[in-house]
Amino acid sequence: MLCAPFRPFARVFLILCSVAAPIASAQVGVGVEGTVSDTSGAVIVGARVAAIVAGRAVASTTSGGDGAYRIDVPPGVPVELLVHADGFADQAISLQGAVVVTRHDVTLRVGGVSDTLVVTASRGVESRATVTESVTLLTRADIEALGSASLADVMQYVPGVHVTSAGREGAVASMFSRGGESDYNLVLIDGVRVNQSGGIFDFSRISAADIDRLEVVRGAQSSLWGSDAMGAVVHIFTRRAGATDAAQVSGSAEGGSLGTFRGHARVNGGAGRRVEYAAGVSRRRSEGAFSSLLAEPDRFEETAVDATAGGTIGARLSVRGGVRYAAGSGRSVGQITYGSRDTGGVYDTHDLSGHVDLFHSLGSRFSGTASVNYFRYKSVSGDTVADPAVLTYVVLSGTPNALFPHGTRLVRVIDAAEFDALAAAGAAPAPGQFLAARESFDFPFTSATAFRRPAFRYQGDYAWGGQRLSVGYDWEQESNPSVPESALGNHAVFVQQELTLRNRWFATVGARVDRKDTYDTFVSPKISVGGYLLPLRSGAFSSLKVFGNVGAGIKSPTYDERFGGAFTDPSPGLQVEHARTGDTGVEATFADQRFRVLGTYFDNDFRDQVAYAGGTGGDGIPDYVNVDGSTAHGWEVEWALQRPVAGVTASATYAYVDHRVVTNLSTSQQFQPGQPLLRRPRHAGSARIGYLWRRAVVSFDARMVGDRHDHSFLFLRTVPNATMPSAVTTDITVNPGHTVMGASLDLRAHDAVTFFLRVDNIRDAAYENVLGYPGAPRTLVAGARFNVTMR
């Protein structure tokens, strides 16, 4: 029996099938031909050209010795040509359905680092060269070179993005984009929205082995994607195949420090030129970075499985579906730096996502996609053991309760004997330093979360005069089975027009209207423009591109914020949060496009933000309120060596993010006027360099994070001294910056097998990603990857 909310949408699927299926009879193909060349006019030999109709590849070919290609496509059907050549940027070309031979020459520009096609920025395939938004792409090869264990690790190399976690694999990891909150990021897996209510998402619980490609679009994207797309959209693509691909078996296995094991296996391919399939399983396990300090095992383990399949029905209709399930189990260990040895902490998660997509075309100009998808999430976190009280003694510096960076810093943690001796000597260990202590208590609790989101989406694209007009409808319903009458629905319509002038200037204008249950109707517009002041060419100064964006974003409150939780009152009067974001950038290439430099300035304004307030309702129980908000502005700089020089490739990023609270209501030390936002560094950057020598690749990477405003939540009590005669309650609020380096060696022993060695945190640097939780120490893993094509 089909779930009741989906029945109307099942009828839509049947109608589309009935319209398109009669065109399933065999048709003689019509030729598309042309020449593939680079920006200097030199032909490109061996470029792969694929024809995409109704969302699937119907034919492919390669360019010959003269750069010429010819490919046969169904007549009168809208077609997308995807062109790929090693060392060049992929290109997507939309063609109106034709009934006679059509000529289309293709010019490819030099490829950048991970310069592949983009689909998230406009909900349609487009070339990276034409995108006028801040987009970062990471491929499977990039992820393998970084040796990443999870999505959280991968995201640390995206400019303007900062990821925090408790320093252990599997610990809760949050992402902040351009100064926004951690729940301002819409996360998609193969087009399925996988955030919990109000945008909550744990970036640690997606294994890097499950990611084939990652797209990150920064800035408010609610004009296309709706709620939660306030600061960024993160789109994860799992591996899939084409109907014309040979079967492949691939996988990896690695092990090393901290009892680490990670592995995955996958099979994918096509059958009969009409069916495609892929299935995989991944497993990872770690004993935890701090097992020697804890009173019980600190193991984390996770298993994930996914599968996808698709097929065609004639020339105008195809269907694809996929499912993913992951189960993770780990511990909550407390603030180890401050002496906590918490036992009985649990953090277990289960998530399921699935989708069925129907691609169709009508006439020679219109194509559409209908999608039914579903997301389910369950988790249990808590503490099952009441541990003895923990006594924390510290030496501090700075000014208690002052705004960052003048607040309290930790000098060192001391024991009771040293604390008593220093207190007896005047409680001033050194000039500008003072003592503080705190007794922390532990109590058992269990917090269970259950969440459901069925959804339906339809998008139609109409091609006219080389331009694309998109219109669509989204429906979804969120519910928490443990909260009666919590189901909240949303209906939305959106429209977007993409414009291209002389294949040099580009603009996208769009808006979305959301009608949210119990809230109101919200309009989220966006405009994106850009183009080439200096077109791609050969020479010392080989291109100059400019772009700019202005957009709006919205985000609904979480279930706990709206309906209350174990320790908070309901806050039914909460309003939806809003964002206005803008950016402008300049991208230039040099030395025949060998070097690329990109600089982007952004400015964000967040309003009606939800803040935690201690008992403002009058009953002494905390609740949530809307406050004025916060602002963030800054710069992102990216540099890349796009073509190897003597076997060397390199890239670097830097971000400056100036953020602060703008409100007349101070709800806490973390959210008061003028205070920088929590756990977001002002300065951050990364660098990567690789060297290829025969069958070996040596890679080096580094991540730099500057000082940031944080909070220890210890509620320390100071010891009076001559400089500070009165005791005050304060917290550690300054988290010092750090730099973490890693290196790897890949050795291709055979075309199908590569062995690798990876060292993280080479210098064994001591740092805290979150105050109280030390970062992982030096670790080493070794393993092998394989990829076998079944001929």
Q: Answer whether 321's CB lies under 8 Å from 307's CB.
A: no
- In this prediction, residue 112 has a pLDDT band, given cuts at 50, 70 and 90, of low
Domain boundary pick from 87, 108, 129: 108
625 occurs within a structural domain? yes
Confidence class for position 597, pLDDT limits 50, 70, 90: very high
Residues constituting the chain = 791
Q: Which of 88, 108, 128 is at the close of a domain?
A: 108
Residue 113 clears pLDDT 50, i.e. is over it: no
CATH number, domain with residue 15: 2.60.40.10
CB atoms within 10 A of CB 525: 14
| Element (DSSP H or E) covering residue 418 | helix 416-424
pLDDT of 25 strictly over 50: no
Query: Any idea of the CA torsion for 117, 214, 785, 741, to the nearest 10 degrees?
Result: 120
List, in sequence order, every residue forming a beta bridge with 578; answer none if it has no partner.
Answer: 554, 607
User: Is residue 292 included in any domain, yes or no?
Assistant: yes
- Token pair belonging to 162: 């900062």
Residue 194 lies in a domain: no
Q: Which amino acid is at 4?
A: A
Provide the residue type at 337 as one letter. Answer: T
In this structure, are strands 30-38 and 106-108 parallel, antiparallel, or unpaired? parallel
Could you tell me where the DSSP H helices lie in 79-227? 140-146, 151-155, 222-225
Containing structural domain, residue 682: 247-313+321-386+444-790
Q: Is 353 helix (H, G, I), strand (E, B) or coil?
A: strand
Q: Is residue 6 part of a domain?
A: yes
Domain tally, the chain? 2
Structure tokens at 184: 């301002």
| Residue 109 confidence (pLDDT) | 79
Residue 7 has pLDDT above 60, yes or no: no
- Tokens describing residue 613: 């307030």
pLDDT at residue 8, as a whole number: 52
User: Which position has the token pair 């995409």?
Assistant: 52
Is residue 186 in some structural domain? Answer: no
pLDDT in tens, 536-553: 888 899 999 999 999 999
Query: Could you tell me which residue, 374 or 556, shows the higher pLDDT?
Result: 374
Q: Three-state DSSP class for 78? A: coil
Question: Residue written as tokens 């996770």?
Answer: 302
CA 717 to mean position of chain CA atoms: 39
Question: Has residue 708 got a pLDDT over 50?
Answer: yes
Please tell me whether residue 18 adopts helix, strand or coil conformation: helix
Q: Of 715, 742, 634, which is closest to residue 680 (Cα–Cα)?
A: 634
Residue 385 clears pLDDT 60, i.e. is over it: yes
The pLDDT assigned to 1 comes to 42
In a domain, 117, yes or no: no
Q: If phi over 0 gives left and psi between -120 and 50 gives alpha, with beta otherwise, what is residue 415?
A: beta
Contact indicator for 38, 109 with CB cutoff of 8 Å? yes
Instruction: Give long-range contacts, CB 8 A cutoff, 24+ apart: 119-124.
Output: 119/215, 119/235, 120/188, 120/215, 120/217, 120/233, 120/235, 121/215, 121/217, 122/224, 122/470, 122/496, 122/498, 122/508, 123/224, 123/459, 123/470, 123/472, 123/496, 124/461, 124/468, 124/470, 124/498
Cα R_g (the chain), whole angstroms: 27
CATH number for the domain including 677?
Answer: 2.40.170.20
Weakest mean pLDDT among 324-333, 658-667, 708-717: 658-667
Q: What is the pLDDT at residue 31?
A: 85
Nearest to 276 by CA among 245, 316, 248: 245
Q: Is residue 427 part of a domain?
A: no
pLDDT beyond 70 at 477 = yes
- In this prediction, residue 442 has a pLDDT band, given cuts at 50, 70 and 90, of confident
Q: Which of 108, 140, 167 marks a domain boundary?
A: 108
Domain-embedded: residue 605: yes
Peptide bond into 429 cis (omega under 30): no
Residue 50's pLDDT is 85
Task: For residue 384, give Cα distances in angstroms to 97, 344, 359, 713.
Answer: 64, 5, 49, 21
pLDDT at residue 21, as a whole number: 44
